[in-house]
Every structure is written in structure tokens, then in C-alpha cells.
Amino acid sequence: MFIPISQPSITQKEIDYVTDAVRSTWISSLGKYIDRFEAEFADFCGTRYAICVSNGTVAIQLALTANGIGKGDEVIMPNLSFIATANATLHCGATPVFADVDANNLCIDPNVIESLITPKTKAIMPVHLYGHPAQMDKILEIANKHGLWVIEDAAEAHGATVKGKRVGSWGHCGTFSFYGNKNLTTGEGGMITTDDEDFYNRCKHLRDHAMSKEKRYWHTAPGFNYRMTNIQAALGCAQLERVQDFMDKRQTIFAWYKKYLVKKEGVSLNKTDTWATNAYWLICLNNIEWNLESRDEFMTELKKRGVDSRPFFYPMSQMPYINESVHTPVTDIVYQQGINLPTYFDLKEEQVKFICKVITQLLND
């Protein structure tokens, strides 16, 4: 038996909704499920508007473009994130500016942001990493002081909260991913959330080749084809009806890991700040004794015993096409010391117990 790092939960509800979308013949970017998914996801996040797109990366790029961010502008973001955060910024012609992360929650450290602000800075892009939200109240205080946009990269944190308020509703806008390994999936797909009607309309306009509403096939700007299909939205609607179960199960899975993993000095699971609710996209295992070599050896041994895992993201500044020397000492250490463990809705307690037994044995060897 091999336990994967993740897998989607597809029930008869998803099959029925997708089948209905297919049978309706509305299989592209128009259909009843598009509007429904947008309205229901906005309600879930607590925002006035939501606009669905083809994936989480273009959600970021569309949000940046609709905010007028482009060549010559700088966007502050954590150095520890999936590369899409930086890539979307680069594709807009803007420059990513990499900040260090908080050692406890692995999200951007608000205490270092102001030192990175220059006259070229246009936005701060906090990433809610592995399901833990960034400290949005402090980030917004800094942004408001300096007149900056705040674009939340919430790709990994559906339902996470800061002081009881859900991610995606704090900044000027939030961006989400619905990739197959996320807490809620449409296969591929993404969403932008916002309370700003003008921004929402700009996103909607640019998403569909910037076609004029009054004059068909007349395009007022170099827009994009970032549309989600009705089939994907149907899957999303079904998933959203189950979202509370998804969130509850991830809390349970973390509790199982905490219960069965034998305590060892220097080894820890996800840490959650008192002001936050963690969405636990992936369970994190940290070992302060690991370096890149010993971490990778540990993952290899896990796989031999039937347990999948994955390393923490590499610092984005290290990518060969970026290759920038930055001062992010926490990031430079923690990325070497962490791995992600199996985390998905259908994971069973006995499987988690087995995983923890294997981990404990390997740590004690």
C-alpha cells in the first residue's frame, strides 16, 4: 500500500453536477454553474464579488494587471512560496522583492516589510503558506500607511481565518487556486475575491480578451483568455457544498498526526498562531537537524516504506532565472528542514498512525 501526498475527494455529487453541465452542452466559459460558483465562493469568503479564472497563477497575474501593476513596479512577497507568486509578477513586467518569513507560521514577516519599501513599490503580496494565514492586520496597517495594494495569495488556505475573518477578504483582493491537490478543487482553476466593484469589473473585462460589452468583437485593451469552464465550475459548486466537511476533516487529520507522532526534541508539526485558524492544506514536519541532504534521504526512506512526501518550497530568489542575493535568514534555514506529509479528505486514522510509526522509527535510527 502506498499513501500519496494528496488526492481529490470526488463523490456522486461532483459526478452529477459535472454530468449536468456536460448534458446542458454549456461546456465552455458560459453556463449556470459559472455565476453560481462565483456567488457562492464570494459568500464563503465574505466578499461582495468573486471572479473565476482558469488557474491560480493567472488569478495573481490578472489581479496585478487590473491594479495597474507592470513594468518598473515592485511587489513585496515572501521568499518562501510556490514559484507562481513570483512568476505571475514577472509576467506582468514587475519585479518581485523577497521578504523573510516568520519562523513560527512560515508566512511573510510583517516586521521586515517596511525596510523593503521603495518609491517603486506598488503592492504587498502575502502568501498564506501551507494553510496558515499571514498576519493581515499588521500588513494592512503598513500598506495603508504607504498607499500600497494588498493582494492575498490564498492558493493554499481556503477557509483559513485571521481573527475570525477569512482569507481573501482582508486585502484589496484575494487569489485562490483550485488545483487537484487543494482543499477544494475544480481540477484546474482559480478565483479572485474583492469588495471593489470597479476592480471586479476590470478583472471581468480583461479575463475575456477585453471585449466591449456594447460592440461584439471590439477589444479595448490587450486582454487575456483566463476563463474557467462551466464544467470546472460545476465541480467547484459540488465541492463548495462539502467545504465545511473538508475543513473539519483537515483539523481531524492534524489532530491524528499530533496524537500519534512520538515527541522528539527539535521535531515539530505545523504551528498555528493564537490569532489564526489554520486550513492545513498540507501537514508540515520540521526537523531542525536536517539539511538538504539528510532531508532528501529521509524522504527516500519514507517512500521505500510506502509513504509519499514532498520538500518545502525552495526560496524563490534561488531560481536560476532570478538568482538574486537577498537577506532572508529564516527562509534560508527552514526550507531545508521541512517536508509535507499526506493530507487529504479520505485519509484514514490507521494510515496516519502508520505514517507516524514509520517517521518515529526513521527519526530514531
Taking only the tens place, the pLDDT of each residue in 124-156 is: 999 999 999 999 999 999 999 999 999 999 999
Taking only the tens place, the pLDDT of each residue in 328-345 is: 999 999 999 999 999 999
Residue 150's alpha-carbon distances to 66, 109, 338, 365, in angstroms, are 13, 15, 28, 46
Give the residue from 224, 241, 258 where a domain finishes. Answer: 241
**Is the same domain home to 56 and 38?**
yes
CB-side neighbour CA atoms (13 Å) of 201: 5
- The answer to whether residue 277 is domain-embedded is yes
**Is the same domain home to 45 and 170?**
yes
**Is the same domain home to 209 and 82?**
yes
Average pLDDT, the chain: 97
Alpha helices in 261-335 (DSSP H): 292-304, 329-334
**Is the same domain home to 289 and 192?**
no
**Is the same domain home to 42 and 121?**
yes
Strand partners, 98: 77
- Dist. CA 176–CA 181, nearest whole Å: 13
**Is the same domain home to 280 and 247?**
yes
- The answer to whether residue 3 is domain-embedded is no
Domain enclosing residue 353, as ranges: 243-364
CB-CB neighbours of 214 under 10 Å: 6
Among positive and negative, which fits the CA dihedral 257, 259, 264, 270?
positive
**Which CATH number characterizes residue 281's domain?**
3.90.1150.10
Number of domains in the chain: 2
**Which CATH number characterizes residue 24's domain?**
3.40.640.10
Q: Is the pLDDT of residue 365 over 90?
A: no
Taking only the tens place, the pLDDT of each residue in 172-213 is: 999 999 999 999 999 999 999 999 999 999 999 999 999 998
Give residues with Cβ within 8 angstroms of 287, minimum separation 6: 266, 267, 295, 298, 337, 338, 363
Residue 125 burial by Cβ neighbours in a 10 Å radius (0-12, 13-18, 19+)? buried
**Is the same domain home to 254 and 322?**
yes
